[in-house]
Structure 1
Amino acid sequence: MTHLGPLELGFLELEDADPHVSLAIGVAAIVDGPAPSPQDLRIWIDRGLESHARLRQSVRRAPLDVSAPTWEDDPHFALAHHIRRTALPGPGGEQQLRELIATELTERLDRDHPLWRITIVEHLAHDRWALILRAHHTLIDGISGITLLEDFCDGPSTAHQHGTRPGNHWRTGYFDRLKAILELPVTVPLATAGTIRALAPVLYSAIAPTAESSLNGTIGQQRRYAVARAELPQVQEICTALGVTVNDVAVAAITAAYRRLLLLRGETPHPGELRVVIPVSTRAKDAKQILDNRISATVTELPIDVNDPGTRLALVHRRIRDHRTRGEAEAEKSVLTLARRLPAGIVASALRVVTHFPQRAIGTLATNVPGPRHRLTLGGREIIELWPCIPTAMRLRTTIAILSYRDQLIFGITADYDSTPDIDTISASIETEISVLLARARGRRPPRRLQLVSRN
């Protein structure tokens, strides 16, 4: 059996702490051509099952958490628990698909079975259909989730060479854990000083309350979902001209979107008002095929008080660079490594206490996942777009996932239904800001309409 780590255990505790959230993440693939037959679908899913034994395993928790939860084979595994077919109402356009995805994001996965599900959506306009793949965050992170989708697709896969070897996962027995605990007085001080220095800004940002705004607060059961699009070559043109990264441009566009959202709501954006969690992958290239979580995170302030798009981008670039220079993500990775050496009951109890305190420091989450640059197909049917889908939790009324696929960058925006009826403002403003930055990169003034939208 394989034990869950402290990060995976944290996702379970977070979901248990709030009946309004589901901690499943996923992707919606928009596919050209007719929807698959049950036989075709079974062929695709069998590819993933052959590559990833974890898809047949469910989480088992020990009484009183005396040991860490484990992944164990489901003796009653049946595909019927993991496949759903549905159809969109007319006209079967993007709006109807977005509403379906929002509904999917509210549904929790059944912990009595392996924590993943595929929904086949028929009757999309323009002779298309969609495949929505969702899995619990204990099972995948953004990169491994996209890898899983690729393993369902046509073409050669090397997942079986990496993903199912016993040695690829952390294992331990009672005496190993006891030995690790006894060594803590020696090993902890050796790493403590540097880790604390790196983590101090993160910890402060994660607990120090910010000014009240409509972006943070209680959330209900229902969700809204929207998408924004950008052409990756155009974003890379901005990067080359202005000396920034794709992630910088994406975060700057998100900053502009939240600024405009607040202004349209009659709120004045203030410095330090909006802090964002930005997950950082710690996954090595040779671990791409392993279904687990290998992420850390930084917390930074979005300069929503800044009016000028170029200045906003420069500030975003500098702040993200400074967080990386301080080694915050590596420090968090060290803390997670240390937490693995503690008794599961202690870790679970600490997480349970933390998740029951309403956080008032973070306003949103923005995660950027590099997707495949090559064309994906399912049974010869081309995947036209990939929409990332992530949940909201911990008083975050909106979250944004950014996913690249071929020459496109897609922003998947999830929001609490009641507090964010204006979700389309976010998607439209992201697209506008990238257009404004592209015009600046090309040395010309953007159209007046775009200038006004960006400044607002």
Structure 2
Amino acid sequence: MEPLSPLDAAFLEIEDADPAVVLAIASVAVAEGPAPSQRELVAEFTARLPLIPRYRQKIHRVPLDLGTPSWVDDPDFDPVRQFHRVAVPGPGDEAGLCELVGMLMAQRLDRDRPLWECWVIEGLAGGRWAILSKVHHCLADGVSGNTLHEVFFREQDRPPPPLRPAEPSPGRMPLLAAALRDMVAGPLTTLRAAFGALTKPRALAGRVTEASQGLEALMRAVIPVSPSSLSGPIGRMRRYELAHASLPKVVAIAKAFDVTVNDVVLAAITAAYRELLLSRGEEPAADSVRTLVPVSVRREVEIGRMNNQVSLMLPLLPVDIADPALRLVTVHRRLAELKGHREAEAGVAVTTSARYGPYAPLAWTIRAAARLPHRNVVSVATNVPGPRHTLSILGREVTDLYPYVPIAMRLRTGVAVLTYRDRMSFGITADAATAPEPGLMAAAIERDLTTLSRTARTKKKKTVVPKRNSSH
């Protein structure tokens, strides 16, 4: 038995607050054919399950929300029930795959079973097939999700250990007793930490200064953005689409403009939101789009842990700027300012402090906030570096890897970015009921990157100094 962190548990509470929300993340691995049989695939995955103990555990809630939910072994776990099979209708193109992914991701995972499932998708063009790996966000973030790629889509150096027997369920009363102990111990732990900090006044002063700067930056996000169609109630169905880019070209753009790859990614997403607003006859104002950008705070030694270790930044995207180059430079400057203000560090401080308080008020607050209308943040944009090496499953090479990010809390769109080998994929999730423009954002992202790449090559040519002919 292991309690969830308040951050992990928050994803459950947000989902519980809105029946239209499904807080599962996913990746779509497209592989060369032919597709293996269901028996082959289940056997291959089952052999590797001991490497991911969380995959055989389910959620056990504490009565009256007196403590955070806990992970417990599922005594009835049967890996066969976690695998499903479906086919894309002809002609098996990318549009058909995206439509199917949107339908599958609109369905909630069963809370009475481990919170993951795999869908084998057959019928793709060229004899290919795919695996949709669907995981609840309370179990993993983008970085820990990459661990799953390494476990299930890569040859192992040694055979995995045998699957250990399931531990018996702790029952409701032991969980309740543990929660009551934690409620008593929490304030004492906080006091011990406070006294420990007082013995190091210089370090304490530095942390207080950083936290206050970051909290000031986070408080600016309380200011509502301009009204737009980007936020509001969402329905149960999802639309999913893809944009593609060459990773070396994106890196070349970043070098030419002296910015980061993440800056280039966010600038392209900004272009998509600008075009979306214009297509709807809405003014892309300077304060129209504030986006939630997750920031990993995972230490190197924690890479393999299945949980969420993220903070956030909340930049305003410059959708009011028409020029792609100027838009990129503005994105870079705004992100640099937020990093300088320690906004991500303040987010860590907030989530860390939540560990020491009673869980019930936190859970009730999260559910209430998820139901209330707001216009502080209108989108989510996440960028996760994926494997640079080739993945495979049962001898079939994985040719493409696509990401999926869920939407919730009145955010009608979200964009996830994942790199694989020398490719970059943008997975765009939208509320199907309020996003009638299929392909618009994906095309805008690709168009913006093409323009920036052309500008970057021009800049590079201008910086080359021609050699003088030497005379002897």
TM-score between both structures, scaled by the size of structure 1: 0.91
| Alpha carbons 1:51, 1:151 under 8 Å: kept | yes
CA contact (8 A) 2:42 2:83 kept: no
What's the RMSD between the two structures over aligned residues? 2.2
CA distance in 2, matches of 1:384, 1:377: 9
CA deviations 1:230-287 (Å, max 9, x no partner) are 0000011111111011110010001111111111221121111110100001112221
Name the counterpart of 1:43.
43
Matches within 5 A, 1:40-439: 40-156=40-156, 175=181, 178-184=184-190, 187=193, 194-205=210-221, 207-439=222-454
Q: Output the CA distance in 1 between the equivalents of 2:414 and 2:51.
A: 31
Distance 2:322 2:240 in 1: 27
Aligned to 1:448: none
Deviation at 1:4, TM superposition (A): 0.6
Provide the C-alpha distance between the structure 1 equivalents of 2:303 and 2:157, rounded to a whole number of angstroms: 12
> Alignment partner of 2:307: what SS?
coil
Deviation string for 1:33-73 (max 9, x for gaps)? 11111232023312431101110000111110112210000
Matched to 1:122, the amino acid is E
* 1:183-232 Cα distance to aligned partner (Å, 9 max, x none): 54675696656423312222331x32211111111111111110000000
TM-score for both structures, normalised by structure 2: 0.88
1:202 counterpart letter in structure 2: L
CA shift for structure 1 position 378: 0.6
User: For the structure 1 residues 356 and 185, does the alpha-carbon distance in structure 2 shift closer, same or farther, using more than 3 Å as the test?
Assistant: farther
Q: Does structure 1 retain, via aligned residues, the 8 Å contact 2:17–2:368? A: no
Asked whether the 8 Å contact 1:398–1:416 carries over to 2, the reply is yes
Q: Take 1:44 and 1:340, find their aligned partners in 2: how far apart are those partners? A: 38
Given that 1:151 and 1:157 are in contact with CA atoms closer than 8 Å, whether structure 2 keeps it comes out as no
Deviation of 1:173 (Å): 7.2
The CA deviation string for residues 167-194 of structure 1, in whole angstroms up to 9 with x for no partner, is: xxxx987556533313546756966564
1:408 Cα deviation after fit: 0.3
Q: Secondary structure at the match of 2:121?
A: strand
Check conservation: 2:225, 2:288, Cα contact below 8 A: yes
* Aligned 8 A contact 2:58 2:71 in 1: yes
Could you say if the C-alpha distance between residues 254 and 270 of structure 1 is closer, same or farther in structure 2, counting changes exceeding 3 Å? same
**CA distance in structure 2 between the partners assigned to 1:323 and 1:193 by the alignment:** 15
Q: Is the 8 A contact 1:415 1:423 kept in 2?
A: no
Who is 1:13 aligned against? Answer: 13
Residue 442 of structure 1 aligns to a residue whose secondary structure is helix
Task: Between 31-40 and 249-258, report the one with greater CA deviation.
Answer: 31-40
Identity %: 42
Q: Are 2:42 and 2:80, in contact at CA under 8 Å, matched by a contact in 1?
A: no
What is the CA–CA distance in structure 2 between the aligned matches of 1:99 and 1:212, rounded to whole Å?
A: 29
Answer yes or no: is the 8 Å Cα contact 2:67–2:179 preserved in 1: no
Residues 47 and 152 of structure 1 are in contact (CA less than 8 Å); yes or no, is this contact kept in structure 2? no
Q: Which moved more, 1:333-342 or 1:70-79?
A: 333-342
What amino acid does structure 2 have at the position aligned with 1:181? P
Structure 2 residue identity aligned to 1:92: G
Distance, in Å, in 2 between the alignment partners of 1:38 and 1:239 is 43
| Distance change in 2, residues 1:332/1:48 (3 Å) | farther
In structure 2, what is the Cα distance between the partners aligned to 1:341 and 1:295? 18
For 2:258 and 2:158, the matched residues in 1 are separated by 36
Q: Is the 8 A contact 1:44 1:153 kept in 2?
A: no
Distance 1:262 1:173, change over 3 A: closer
Q: Supply the AA of the counterpart residue of 1:243.
A: D
CA distance in 1, matches of 2:434, 2:399: 32
SS in 2 for 1:301: coil
Q: Secondary structure at the match of 2:89?
A: coil
- Secondary structure at the counterpart of residue 289 of structure 1: coil
What number of residue pairs does the alignment pair up?
A: 436
User: Closer, same or farther in 2 for the Cα pair 1:159/1:432, shift >3 Å?
Assistant: farther
Q: How much does 1:8 deviate?
A: 1.2
Q: Is the 8 A contact 2:154 2:391 kept in 1?
A: yes
Match of 1:454 in 2: none
State the one-letter code of the partner of 2:294: P
Radius of gyration: which is bigger? 2
Q: Deviations over 1:47-100 (max 9, x none)?
A: 431101110000111110112210000011012331100111111111111110
Separation of aligned partners in 2, 1:397 and 1:8: 22
Rounded Cα–Cα distance in structure 2 between residues aligned with 1:331 and 1:160: 40
Q: Aligned partners of 2:233, 2:159: CA distance in 1, in Å?
A: 41
Task: Describe the SS at the equivalent of 1:394.
Answer: coil
**Contact 1:144–1:289 (CA under 8 A) maintained in structure 2:** yes
Tell me the distance in 1 between the aligned counterparts of 2:192 and 2:146. 40
Residue 90 of structure 2 aligns to a residue whose secondary structure is coil
CA distance in 2, matches of 1:158, 1:429: 45
Please state how far the C-alpha of 1:142 moved relative to its aligned partner: 0.7
